[in-house]
Amino acid sequence: MSCCGISSWRSGLGVAVKRGRPLKRPKGVRPEQRRYLIYCEGECTEVQYFRGLKAELRTLPVSICVGSEHGEPKSLVRAAVQHMGRASRSPQDRWTEYDEVWCVIDVEAPVPHPGLDEALLLARRHGIEVVLTNPCFELWILLHFQDVLGYHTSEEAQRALEKLGVAGYSASRKHLNFGDVTVGHTDAAGRARSLRSSGVDGLRANPWTDVDRLVARLKAAGQAPR
């Protein structure tokens, strides 16, 4: 008699049939973390900004490592390349590799960095994405609070941000309170896109920034299937 027949026969005799436990519904699987390595030219404003952003995104499946080395563009890209190479061997790195590596670089004005073109070429060769701001990162912070339309030197952009008296920033100590900045992100991103609408790239356009590209990428990490 088949197993199915035995089961029916026992049921007919009034014999209790022990049923198996119902299958449990599979629980939601947490999305795999997307891993970012970010190297910043400046060691104050930029680092404080991205560390603040890292804390803001801590509930998302995204891991952000801010590199410890800073400096002019070419040496910065070299440091990022070296970090990529040693990631699988260093006990300080939680991950064996990064999904994306970015360098955040200032063009500077009135005199651009002399090694900027070489830095961009090196980054492209190693698959590193570059965020440029012309003249400097402080422009991106300024855009959270107001439009910036005219040419600025690096010093003028820093002084303009200091004059606003926001986010605890001063040109001398380059401090930044991230919490005071983040509320204006949508406005800043819109203003940044407007500056780029001329079609001229950041090496020749001032003011110009594409920091919003990286921020958008970080905020979207883990939200769509990989």
pLDDT tens digit sequence for 32-71: 789 999 999 998 999 999 999 999 999 999 999 999 899 9
Is 225's pLDDT higher than 60? no
Q: Say if 16 falls within a structural domain.
A: no
pLDDT in tens, 114-126: 999 999 999 999 9
Mean pLDDT of 75-83: 95
Q: Say if 18 falls within a structural domain.
A: no
Q: Residue 194: give the domain boundaries.
A: 33-220
Q: Say if 22 falls within a structural domain.
A: no
CB-CB contact of 72 with 41 (8 Å)? yes
**Which of 66-75, 170-179, 195-204 is most confident?**
66-75
Domains in the chain, number: 1
Q: Say if 114 falls within a structural domain.
A: yes
Mean pLDDT of 93-105: 81
CB-CB contact of 138 with 45 (8 Å)? yes
CB-CB contact of 208 with 132 (8 Å)? yes
- pLDDT: is 152 or 25 the higher one? 152
Phi-psi label, residue 9: left if phi above 0, alpha if psi -120 to 50, beta otherwise: alpha
Is 153's pLDDT higher than 50? yes
Q: Say if 65 falls within a structural domain.
A: yes
Give 77's contacts (C-beta < 8 A, 6+ positions apart).
39, 103, 119, 122, 123, 126, 128, 130
CB-CB contact of 196 with 189 (8 Å)? no
Q: Say if 26 falls within a structural domain.
A: no
As given in the structure block, the two tokens for residue 30 are: 């947490």
CATH code (residue 78): 3.40.50
Q: Say if 27 falls within a structural domain.
A: no
Q: Say if 2 falls within a structural domain.
A: no
As given in the structure block, the two tokens for residue 208 are: 């110009």
